[in-house]
Amino acid sequence: MIKPISGFSKLTKKEKIDWLAETYLKDRPEDVAILRQYWNEDSRLQQLHDEFTENTLSNFYLPFGLAPNFLINGDLLAIPMSIEESSVIAAASKAAKFWRTRGGFKAEVIDTKKIGQVHFNFFGNKEKLKQFFQATKPKLLEAVKPITRNMEKRGGGVLDIKLRDKTAEITNYHQLHCEFETKDSMGANFINSCLEKFAEVFENEAQQYEDFSLEERNIEIIMSILSNYVPECLVRAEVSCPVEELNENKDLNAEDFAKKFIQAVNIAEVEPYRAVTHNKGIMNGIDAVVLATGNDFRAVEAGIHAYASRKGKYSSLTHASIENGIFKFWIEIPLALGTVGGLTSLHPLVKLALDILQQPTARELMKVVAVAGLAQNFAAINSLTTTGIQQGHMKMHLMNILNQHKATEAEKKILIQYFTNNTVTHSSAVEELKKLRNS
């Protein structure tokens, strides 16, 4: 019977691995060897990675790739992407090549407002609470001056604080709904520090507010935390061209392609079962760039999917139309990103990714990420409405199948050539590999 361990975090990395091997891996030396195999030979670099999180045993690698030829607002960029899924970078690159000769991608940041909230219970007269808030608001803003001073020098800071009555949803529940501008920082620590100071001052001031009864003075702070839902931190990216220029597919004329493409998008707008997979494909592109640039892809995912549901039904993040003979395809999404702070100044590959992108500001990175999502979706819908998604995807997946079955370099070369003109499935790849080995 396995017993709980006490003080695991205080063990050395070797001691943690030894305990793991003895307790769960049945002392299999090959498993321990795998953990060690992924350590970086540079001990200082390995220590840096060890200290990114807690109880580190090893490094978990993802491919770091590049999608070139993205023409964005007139600038030709190569976009770094970190992702393990086959065909994502290839699809993005193909879309970039397609649109480079048709005007490229246009992107604009609509707003960069971020949100944090102090959640609290108030037991008393709501009108008196409103009066207290108005009297206290200047003190709240003054209290965070030591925190906001440097951010204000960069043009950011606290934009506003609003009192929100949420008692219709939960008895006695209210919020301080706070708006921030964090410039090139994602701003999580900055926002949370401000919110906690707001809560402290708000609670203390209530204790001294003469118009409150004894019960009303006892405001109960529940929590103070930023929101990853940022519907006013928006970026838009789009592509457009005359319909007749959508002439890449020889088996489908441009007008029919455009109509079929638009209907595929329309289906994702009204059918949640399709919308989830549709948007997952968009996130393939978005997450890959967010991860490569050291940003929080979990926060981005949560915020974007919430945005996709903002009208009460989960729907497509992209939209398409034909107006006066012009095909237009666009995306509008919330993105809270940073290019300073966090991993951006620590992780060597993150710093390299930002160098590749020519040291973008947070606003510029928002545009790049939105474009990557739009490109990914264009490539996916293009495949779905013409050849089907599996033809291209499975050819990219072929290498994974061959590696899984330990194909040699010579075998890979022969089978890649064979499947140039044959349909790839897992079973067909395994069958052809067996034939090759038995010949």
142 is catalytic: no
User: Which candidate in 14, 145, 280, 434 is catalytic?
Assistant: 280
Count, residues in the chain = 439
- Among 393, 395, 397, 432, the active-site one is 393
Which of 181, 184, 296, 364 is flagged as catalytic?
296
Catalytic residue list contains 85: yes
Q: Is residue 347 annotated as a catalytic residue, yes or no?
A: no
Active site (annotated) includes residue 351: no
Question: Among residues 85, 256, 269, 332, which one is catalytic?
Answer: 85
Angle among Cα 392, 397, 398 to the nearest 5 degrees reads 100
Active site residues: 85, 280, 296, 393
